[in-house]
Amino acid sequence: MVRRVFLFVIALGAVIAASCAKPVATLDCSTGNKTACTDECVDLQSDTLNCGKCGTTCPAGQACVAGACSATCPTGNLKCDKDGGGAICVNAKTDNANCGKCGVTCGAAQVCYGGQCSGTCGNSQSGETLCGGDGGSPYCATLAADDNNCGQCGKVCTAGQICVKGACQNTCTSTQTQCGGDGGSPYCADLQNDNANCGTCGHVCSNALDSCIAGVCTNACGFGQTMCNGDAGAYCVDSLSDNANCGSCGNVCPSNNPLCSGGKCTTGGGGTVRQVSGTIVPVTYVPCGNGTYTNCTETAAESSCTGIGLKLGVVSLGATTSCHWSISYFTNNNPVVAGQCLVGVSNAQWTSCCGVGSWHGNVVKVPTTLGQQFGFVNSLDSGYNGGLTNTTGTTWGCVTNATAIPSAGCTTYYVACM
């Protein structure tokens, strides 16, 4: 009898204990395609402590890449050590906690853009706006197409709607395809040029230098760019104007010649020119095209200036007839240009003389002495200065864009940009 009472008490205690135990919560890890491991939702594709399956921990110095422990990261990503042993793969161009290199954390009001902490999201051409920061990290959003920031930061499109040109609507444009919707908001994508949806929805161009061109991920830099390598991986530069990669990768312009112009480090501004009004303004000398006279067309001259954010200096010093060959008086402070040739443009696509599509002008030798006034003005023009000892040059008449300037025996031919 005593034994039965004892067993009953034990059984009753077990029932009471079970009834008082804390219930185990059921995790919903459907959002973001995550998996429930113990008491948290994890991404088995990238979680160092749960790599491929729950409980699989990567060794020290390794990261979880596509569900497998790896000593290296995908192209375009940087491997950074985590506290406690494992590593993570980050995009150092956009990671606020590893901006440019591991461990560089951007400030509270900054975002990592292009591998540098910034208070903005690039320039006006980037199409992105700085959002967030209220209790969370700031980020760059494309207000024209972001369902969570449609038209303005924080404006979320309702379920089933998509953000098109900054407005929430129910359909995409004729050139777009509706993607997403599986656990996330739907969105419109141009499958021909969207790096995150190249050819088909969800097909990501994973290489940092890949671009989606005609629906195919293509590994190449843009026209006129050079591929260089840095701490954050490979990147593309314009070696003709990049002060940190001037002429070649890693060639940083020094403080005494800080401006990269035409692939060469020069002094800021380069020199001056006297305009028709008599006003003296700074100019920057850049090679015309590739610097040879056979490549120097009117189109190449204009592109050489617009490539560094300036305009071709089409100027003359009071010429009485626009068709006369004339340029204004210049000075030069750049030793790279000294002794070379300056292409003086007195007419570029002016219908009053040559007609649109043609140009004319002359070539003068740049003095070897810095700061010396030089130039060439035809004697029939009112701006002619016969007192200059270096007014000789080579002139030409109306030529088409496809026709090179005449040779004046120089190694490099420059144009003046303003």
**pLDDT tens, 50-65?**
888 898 888 887 888 8
Q: Which residue among 27, 58, 90 closes a domain?
A: 90
What is the distance between the alpha carbons of residues 144 and 178, in angstroms, rounded to a whole number?
A: 15
Residues 6+ apart with CB under 8 A from 135: none
Q: Which residue among 190, 219, 237 closes a domain?
A: 237
What is the distance between the alpha carbons of residues 275 and 348, in angstroms, rounded to a whole number?
A: 16
CB 151 within 8 A of CB 169: no
Instruction: Identify whether 175 is part of a domain.
Output: no
pLDDT of residue 414: 92
Instruction: Identify whether 113 is part of a domain.
Output: no
3-state SS, one letter per residue, for 63-124? EEECCEEECCCCCCCEEEECCCCCEEEECCCCCCCCCCCCCCCCCCCCEEECCEEECCCCCH
Indicate if 209 and 289 belong to the same structural domain.
Answer: no
Indicate if 301 and 409 belong to the same structural domain.
Answer: yes
Its domain, for residue 258, covers 238-266
pLDDT of residue 6: 44
Domain count, the chain: 4
Q: Which residue among 50, 75, 90 closes a domain?
A: 90
Indicate if 233 and 246 belong to the same structural domain.
Answer: no
What is the distance between the alpha carbons of residues 341 and 410, in angstroms, rounded to a whole number?
A: 6
Indicate if 330 and 316 belong to the same structural domain.
Answer: yes
pLDDT of residue 105: 84
Strand partners, 131: 139
Instruction: Identify whether 279 is part of a domain.
Output: yes
Instruction: Identify whether 140 is part of a domain.
Output: no
Indicate if 217 and 261 belong to the same structural domain.
Answer: no
Instruction: Identify whether 207 is part of a domain.
Output: yes
Indicate if 318 and 402 belong to the same structural domain.
Answer: yes
Instruction: Identify whether 215 is part of a domain.
Output: yes
Indicate if 296 and 407 belong to the same structural domain.
Answer: yes
Indicate if 85 and 223 belong to the same structural domain.
Answer: no
pLDDT tens digits, residue range 246-293?
888 888 877 656 667 667 776 555 788 876 666 777 788 889 988 999
Measure Cα distances from 16 to 2, 24, 108 in Å: 21, 17, 51
Indicate if 216 and 273 belong to the same structural domain.
Answer: no
∠ at Cα 382 (377, 387), nearest 5°?
55
Spans in the chain with pLDDT lower than 70: 1-26, 30-33, 76, 83-85, 122-127, 133-136, 160, 181-185, 207-211, 219-224, 231-234, 255-259, 261-262, 266-269, 275-278, 314-327, 346-353, 355-357, 376-392
Instruction: Identify whether 290 is part of a domain.
Output: yes
Instruction: Identify whether 81 is part of a domain.
Output: yes
Indicate if 290 and 276 belong to the same structural domain.
Answer: yes
What is the distance between the alpha carbons of residues 290 and 301, in angstroms, rounded to a whole number?
A: 10
Indicate if 230 and 252 belong to the same structural domain.
Answer: no
Indicate if 225 and 336 belong to the same structural domain.
Answer: no
CB 177 within 8 A of CB 189: yes
